[in-house]
Amino acid sequence: MNIINGKEVSKKTREKVALMVKDFVAEKGRIPCLAVILVGEDPASQTYVKNKIIGCEEVGMKSLSYRLPANSTNDEVAKIIKDLASDSTVDGILIQLPLPKGLDERYLLSLIPDSKDVDGFSPNNLGLLAMNNPRTVSCTPYGVMELLASTGVNLSGKNAVVIGRSNTVGKPMAMLLLNANCTVTVCHSKTQNMAEITKQADILVVAIGKPKFVTEDMVKEGAIVIDVGINRVDGKLVGDVDFENVSKKASFITPVPGGVGPMTISMLLYNTLMCAKYED
């Protein structure tokens, strides 16, 4: 069994992005800029946003940070997004999710132009991914593809099973694996006999948000297992996979923490640079 080191792959990705940013600045005479909007005081979101800002500094990009109270109105948040949308010095706009109750996530996300959609959440960007002509791709599944690439295993023709069907992870993950010529099955909370399906997986990506949901009896010997879950149990972070037992069967497996988590921000930084390039 090999543990996939997300911190290491993430560091390499950031080094590559930093070099590309340097070239961009030299060529265009301006610095790529990401605007991050955080509404409310959710502690996990505050940490993510802080790390996104630090990530920008690390790779030589500018960032703008907007912090609004949890009781902000749709109009107040919309005004900020619209101003950023028309500001030619801003390349990417990110609204940290989840938004507090009362705010209309779909409406507010729709105000981000496709060209500044660093999360790859817009209908057009998701559609382009579905057509295997991607522009920006949702950061977490994109990071999973980098982790899979780091194993050196050829994905073509492999059985890939994704557990989870969210618009932000499960669906784009399935499309990325399909684009990589895998045979893809998506399982979710209503799937029957899930273990029968997951046992066929050469590649198993788990994003269901339930601690230690995947147990060793659900996994094929030699499978690559990617754990997207981040669950807090008794003050500790645990994934969606029972790492201790599943790792005995897997050929490659990601730990939590230190697996998929570190990749998400690296891919966000990459996406921001891509948005800067597309705009020019």
Q: Is 202 in the site for ligand GUN (CB under 6 A)?
A: no
250: CB partners within 8 A, 6+ apart: 1, 219, 222, 223, 224, 225
Q: Is 59 in the site for ligand GUN (CB under 6 A)?
A: no
Residue with tokens 């230690």: 212
76: CB partners within 8 A, 6+ apart: 68
**To the nearest whole angstrom, how small is the minimum distance from the Cβ of residue 95 to ligand GUN?**
6
- Quick one: 9 or 194, whose CB is closer to ligand GUN? 9
Residue type, 196: E
Find the binding residues for ligand GUN in span 214-273 (CB under 6 A).
264
Q: Is 95 in the site for ligand GUN (CB under 6 A)?
A: yes
Per-residue contact flags (x/-) with ligand GUN for residues 65 to 94, judged by CB under 6 A? -----------------------------x
Q: Is 146 in the site for ligand GUN (CB under 6 A)?
A: no
Residue from the set 96, 115, 125, 247 that interacts with ligand GUN by CB under 6 A: 96
Find the binding residues for ligand GUN in span 116-145 (CB under 6 A).
119, 139-140
Q: What is the gyration radius of the CA atoms in the chain, in angstroms?
A: 19
Q: Single out the residue of 65, 52, 57, 180 nearest to residue 119, CA to CA.
A: 52
Residue from the set 97, 111, 153, 237 that interacts with ligand GUN by CB under 6 A: 97
> Any idea what the Cα angle at residue 141 is, between residues 135 and 145, rounded to 5°?
90
- Number of other residues whose CB lies within 10 A of the CB of residue 218: 24
> Catalytic residue at 200?
no
> For ligand GUN, how many residues bind (rule: CB under 6 A)?
8
- Quick one: 38 or 218, whose CB is closer to ligand GUN? 38
DSSP count for the chain of H helices, then E strands: 10, 11
